[in-house]
Amino acid sequence: MTKFKLLLPLSLLLTNPNLRAQDGQQLYGLYCAACHASDGKGATGGAFPPLAGSEWVHGDPKRSVAIILKGLQGPIEVGGKAYNLAMPPQGDALGDDQIVAILNFVHKSWGNKGEAVKRDLVRIARTEFASRTTLWTAPELLKLFPLEKQPTALANLTSSVYKGQWIYMPHFEKIQSENVEEEHSGILNTALAALKEDFGIVWQGDFIAPANGEYDFMLDADDGAKLILNGKNVAEVKGIGPLGDKNRSSQGKAALKAGANPVRIEYFQGKGDQGISLGWKPAGAKQWQWLSSNPPKSAPGSPSLILTPMDGKTAIYRNFIEGSSPRGISFGFPVGVNLVYSADNLAPELLWAGTFIDAGRHWTDRGQGFQPPLAEEVVKLTNQRFLPPTARFKGYSLDAKGNPTFHIELDRQLLSDGFAPGTTGTLVRTIKLSGGTSVLEIPLGDNPLVTPKKSISLAPGKSVTVIYKLF
């Protein structure tokens, strides 16, 4: 019963001295590590945004609370890397004390130095955002809770703005600039010219290399741009054209000394859209760091990442699944049976046999829409909520093999709904009811896969086993 402790009502916790809430690290492992990894670096080799060293963890702690309460979707940049995923809201699944424990663990782990989160802050945020029905986007959060400005590799930067019509990079040294400004942010932004078309900008300053060695640079622009380091051309985007065109973007290498290296970035804008994208990384490193307000545009499509159970353990996929509610949570069991449980409808919704799911949509740069199961035939168990409106989803626990048990609070009763693999092609469901005196009627549907049929009556202190056999 240890895994159920955090899910019981506060009144039961106070009357039973043997029960106590799990700590932040345990809760993080239960609710967050599947996506963000136990070390905070992002699961599946960094396919998910990291929390370790993330700029999103610092600053106003209400930002972190808002994300947990209402979720997050769409493009976001973390640590210089672009992501486009979706995080379901957890406000209904987690109580205020659990959110406080998780965030205080994250804010002080892996070198993070985020502010402490207090219970009153969570309570206030829950009330403040109660009417919100959609997931947050990064621009919405940044408008409410701007990130703390982080120093970039560009220092002592100045910008000179020029006016003119060009189709190729002009000789700016032969043209009189309109003005010269200091750029303390260390970020390239074409909007500083306050012009829509027919202008140029030259940034000059120092690139601060962290160590002696070779560095990679990536340059893209709408329209033309050139990167010069220590007086040598490193990368150039020529002529007129858009950001994101693989035939125009440019990469180059430069051997740099530790410390300040003179840098010059030239840019011109013709007609239409404008923007510049400049990134750098030490040679051999995987992650780019960006020095511009325009993030790189991702290539279309996403790779296929077939998720399957490994080493006899159940696989979990917590993103949006086609055919289920937005808070559908799916599990691939090592006996060839797959399940989606809806945290909105508080019931299992989908079953299918064979391969589990393709995680490529949400585990790479795209992340939009609902992912269908990898099966031609999917059994729909239910699409509605049968429990009373007062029933609350209180999360789920995983055993050592990754098999889930879902927990639901009904007044002073606790319903535990567990799923585990049986023989090949078979899923075993164990339902328990604790506390109170009410008998609970649980419909199962008239489906030939299910034994017993139609419904069960569950009395307090009792449990019942349901068998799903797909093949």
CB-based contact 70:91 (threshold 8 Å): yes
The fraction of the chain above a pLDDT of 90, given in percent, is 38
For residues 137 and 86, give the distance between their C-alpha atoms in angstroms, rounded to a whole number: 10
Which pLDDT value is given to residue 252? 95
Spell out the residues 6+ positions from residue 124 whose beta carbon is closer than 8 angstroms to its own. Answer: none
This prediction's pTM: 0.43
449 has a pLDDT exceeding 80 = no
Which pLDDT value is given to residue 273? 84
Residue the block writes with tokens 């959609």: 134
Mean per-residue pLDDT for 386-406? 89
CB-based contact 283:256 (threshold 8 Å): no
Spell out the residues 6+ positions from residue 110 whose beta carbon is closer than 8 angstroms to its own. Answer: 39, 40, 41, 51, 52, 53
The fraction of the chain above a pLDDT of 70, given in percent, is 88
CA distances from 381 to 323, 347, 374, 445 (A): 11, 9, 17, 7
121 has a pLDDT exceeding 90 = yes
Domain 2-144 is in which class? mainly alpha
237 has a pLDDT exceeding 70 = yes
Spell out the residues 6+ positions from residue 321 whose beta carbon is closer than 8 angstroms to its own. Answer: 328, 330, 340, 350, 357, 370, 371, 372, 373
Q: What is the pLDDT of residues 61-112, one digit of tens each?
A: 999 999 999 999 888 888 767 787 788 898 888 899 999 999 999 999 998 8
Which pLDDT value is given to residue 154? 92
Q: What is the pLDDT of residues 267-325, one digit of tens each?
A: 999 988 888 999 999 988 877 788 887 655 443 445 567 788 888 899 998 878 888 88
9 has a pLDDT exceeding 60 = no
For residues 188 and 279, give the distance between their C-alpha atoms in angstroms, rounded to a whole number: 11
Element (H or E) spanning 410, and its range? strand 404-410
404 has a pLDDT exceeding 50 = yes
Residue the block writes with tokens 């120093």: 151
> Hey, what are 167's tokens?
């189709």
> Hey, what are 239's tokens?
């002529």
Element (H or E) spanning 68, and its range? helix 61-70
Q: What is the pLDDT of residues 159-198, one digit of tens each?
A: 999 999 999 999 999 999 998 888 877 888 888 888 889 9
* Domain extents in the chain: 2-144, 154-290, 306-469
369 has a pLDDT exceeding 80 = no
Element (H or E) spanning 307, and its range? strand 306-307
Q: Which CATH architecture describes the domain 154-290?
A: Sandwich (2.60)
Confidence of residue 452 (pLDDT cuts 50, 70, 90): low
Query: Which residues, listed in sequence order, are joined to residue 322 by a DSSP beta bridge?
Result: none
CA distances from 112 to 26, 146, 275, 313 (A): 18, 18, 32, 31
Confidence of residue 150 (pLDDT cuts 50, 70, 90): low
CB-based contact 147:64 (threshold 8 Å): no
For residues 54 and 150, give the distance between their C-alpha atoms in angstroms, rounded to a whole number: 11
For residues 250 and 241, give the distance between their C-alpha atoms in angstroms, rounded to a whole number: 13
352 has a pLDDT exceeding 70 = yes
> Hey, what are 275's tokens?
């923007």
Average pLDDT of the chain to the nearest whole number: 84
